[in-house]
Amino acid sequence: MSLDNKESAAPAPSDFIRDIVAAHVAENKYPRIHTRFPPEPNGYLHIGHAKSICLNFGIAREFGGICNLRMDDTNPTKEDIEYVESIQADVNWLISAWADDKLGLKPKGQTPKAISEDGKRDFYLPAVTDASARSGLEPFYASDYFDQIYDYAEQLIEKGKAFVCDLTPEQTDEYRRNALESPFRNRTPEENLDLFQRMKAGEFPDGTRTLRARIDVASPNIWMRDPLIYRIRHAEHHHTGNKWCIYPMYDFAHCLSDYLEGITHSICTLEFEVHRPLYDWILESLELPRPLPRQYEFARLALGYTVMSKRKLMQLVNENLVTGWDDPRMPTISGIRRRGVTPQSLRNFAYNIGITKYNGLTDVAVLEYAIRDDLNKRAQRRLAVLRPIKVTISNYPEGKVEELDAVNNPEDESAGKRKIPFSRELFIERDDFAEVPPPKFFRLKPGGEVRLKYAYIIKCEETVKDADGHITELRCTADLDSKTGGATAARKVKGTIHWVSAAHAVDAEVRLYDRLFTVPDPGAEEDFKSTLNPHSLEIVTAKCEPSLKDAKPEERYQFERMAYFALDLDSRPGKLVLNRTITLKDTWAKEAQKW
RNA sequence: UGCCCGAUGGUGUAACGGUAGCACAAGUGACUCUGAAUCACUUUGUCUAGGUUCAAAUCCUAGUCGGGCAGCCA
């Protein structure tokens, strides 16, 4: 219950975009603030998208607005329904219980309605935010506006602001580079209209003609040099099927999609900055009656020890370097989710890194901190031994079993207690014993004492070795009065370690994930794949306390002194599979490295 | 090369002409039946050079460095 307090109690974030929005609210510039999150369904969403989602939905949340989810699907050759579905799932997961009431959708199948103001032709598609009617709703699709966008293109032609160009792709490129006017630039509106309609009718093959905006071929900004706004693509579209063989370019479709949905603040990343004059030119040239959306740009997220480009992520998937888009090592939202990270910690992370126009490289430690901070408050504590070594308590009766009390979450008293069985034969962590202990080693060593969490203080009397000299077992004695609550329980022993009763332990496949790459900026490498971390996944069979048999998918666990874990979707009754979300901070590892 | 954008501790950010602050990281200590968490303390910064001003991280000029764009991708 208190988990969300931090989020709601935190001061509202402040950044240059929110400052602008706040000013617009103060001057009543718009009836309502309306943002949008417009992914292209050509890949899975990653943590960089999460930053954008948190920004756009955050603004809607803070300023009483709406944020539309829109598929920016104007290129049928790269997009797929699989991505549409994953995007919806990821967005819903990330905003759940936070901004799901701000999510703008539309009734299934609905397209913009023609409206008329002052006799001007206009279209509008309002958003619905009713979460209870979610089943009858769907995201917005730019492809749902193809009719309207086509109409706008004809209007541009009629105004003499667009023309059909017959130049080849290579010629177009050359003309634009050299600031030359297309020889087809001065065709009449009638001829352009005729040719454009015949493009639509499918009379011409791919690449033979385009529709171009008629702006200024000498502009210093390449995107104003008569940019293409429609191209021919005889291809089936995942949402519109075979209805179209011409498709609008991003620049033409995006600003108009924003307009049709009544978007007020169109927030995108820095690389679109140079497109903004074109965004404005299109909307202004059409002389649209309603308030125009404006574009604002911020720096995309770059995160240490990972790659973020869809192309590179796609490569990892296609070349089987990971198990899929949702591999827990991937920076995708689905991978992060599978790893066990909560949406809350992702949101906290997004809040912590801020919004600027500076292209930096964010330290993964910031993400890791957000994850630990959230899981520390949330996770049920459990005892589990990842790399077991056997311990026999020689002065503890054979066959005796005690049920000891264990605290479920010291950060949250309401999480209660549970019982864990103790017996003569146990497992402890191999790393918790050292035959030749380094300095400041507070754990078990020959002749040394250590506290077993919730149980007794034990002393190592003898090590048992196999023929190769490897330690196979530790013979210990327990101070039988030192049990929690006992006569000598208050004795100060420097170390406390976790353990599991051998006879009661349940096995679990535990997947120990580490960062995918070995360098802070793999994307800057000649070959990013050469920097993959060969130890990014280690699988062990852990010995777990019996209560873990009932582990639940939605629950988070901390194996005390080790790490946070979550059930993997491969887990089945009788076959536990757990993912290590993130290790606990390990100060000892740093100390031990000095030796 | 042209155009656009940016630059504050190790990293990410705040300060909107008036005491350079926060978070992470790092370090020291306290506490500890998790070497976690928590608590206290500490180290480290305004790209450079001019100018405006009583006063500049902030405004102006030039430079340096970094990023982006120059797909019939988005």
Domains by residue range for chain A, with CATH: 3-303 (3.40.50.620), 310-378+508-592 (2.40.240.10), 383-504 (2.40.240.10)
* pLDDT for res A132: 76
Q: How many angstroms separate the CA of A222 from the C1' of B47?
A: 30
- pTM of the entire predicted model: 0.96
Span CA (A363) to C1' (B43), Å = 20
| pLDDT at A4 (0 to 100) | 46
The pLDDT value given to residue A502: 98
Residues 379-398 of A with CB under 7 A from strand B: 381
Which own/partner contact pairs does A456-461 have at CB distance under 8 Å and 24+ positions apart? A456/A393, A456/A422, A456/A480, A456/A482, A456/A483, A457/A482, A457/A488, A457/A491, A457/A493, A458/A391, A458/A393, A460/A433, A461/A394
A300 is catalytic: yes
**How far, rounded to the nearest angstrom, does the alpha carbon of residue A406 sit from its chain's CA centroid?**
34
Inter-axis angle of helices A146-158 and A189-200, to 10 degrees? 160
Q: Which amino acid is at A428?
A: I
Q: Note whether A143 and A71 are within 8 A (CB).
A: yes
Write out chain A's pLDDT in tens, 595 residues. 334 445 555 677 889 999 999 999 999 999 999 999 999 999 999 999 999 999 999 999 999 999 999 999 999 999 999 999 999 999 999 999 999 999 999 999 999 999 887 777 789 999 999 877 788 999 999 999 999 999 999 999 999 999 999 999 999 999 999 999 999 999 999 999 999 999 999 999 999 999 999 999 999 999 999 999 999 999 999 999 999 999 999 999 999 999 999 999 999 999 999 999 999 999 999 999 999 999 999 999 999 999 999 999 999 999 999 999 999 999 999 999 999 999 999 999 999 999 999 999 999 999 999 999 999 999 999 999 999 999 999 999 999 999 999 999 999 999 999 999 999 999 999 999 999 999 999 999 999 999 999 999 999 999 999 999 999 999 999 999 999 888 999 999 999 999 999 999 999 999 999 999 999 999 999 999 999 999 999 999 999 999 999 999 999 999 999 999 999 999 999 999 999 999 999 999 998 887 6
Nearest nucleotide over every DNA/RNA strand to the A355 CA, judged by C1': B13
pLDDT of residue A334: 98
In 3-state terms, what secondary structure has residue A19?
helix
Which residues of chain A between 60 and 99 are close to nucleic strand B, CB under 7 A? 72, 74-75, 78
Distance CA A343, CA A349 (A): 10
- Protein-to-nucleotide distance from the CA of A356 to the C1' of B21, whole angstroms: 18
| Alpha-helical runs (H) found in A118-241 | 146-158, 169-177, 189-200
Nucleotides of B under 7 A from a protein CB: 2-8, 10-16, 23-27, 33-38, 66-74
Given the cut 0.90, state whether the ipTM is greater than it: yes
Structure confidence at residue A9 (pLDDT): 55
User: What does DSSP say about strands A506-513 and A576-583: parallel, antiparallel, or unpaired?
Assistant: parallel
Q: Would the Cβ of A16 be found within 7 angstroms of any atom in strand B?
A: yes
Closest CA to A223 of A272, A265, A181: A272
CA angle A526, A532, A537 (to 5 degrees): 170
**pLDDT value for A134:** 80
A484 phi, psi to nearest 5 deg:
-45, 120
Q: How far is the CA of A560 from the C1' of B22 (A)?
A: 31
Residues 163-192 of A with CB under 7 A from strand B: 167-169, 172-173, 176-177
CB atoms within 10 A of CB A236: 13
Nucleotide with the nearest C1' to A227 CA: B72
Kind and range of the H or E element at A459?
A: strand A457-465
Alpha-helix runs per DSSP H in A276-398: 276-285, 310-318, 333-339, 343-353, 364-378
Per the annotation, the verdict on A40 as an active-site residue is yes
Cα separation, A332 vs A307, in Å, equals: 10
- Both tokens assigned to A136: 């009858």
Q: Please return the burial class of A410, using the count of CB atoms within 10 Å of its CB with bins 0-12, 13-18 and 19+.
A: exposed
Say whether A574 sits in a helix, a strand or coil.
coil
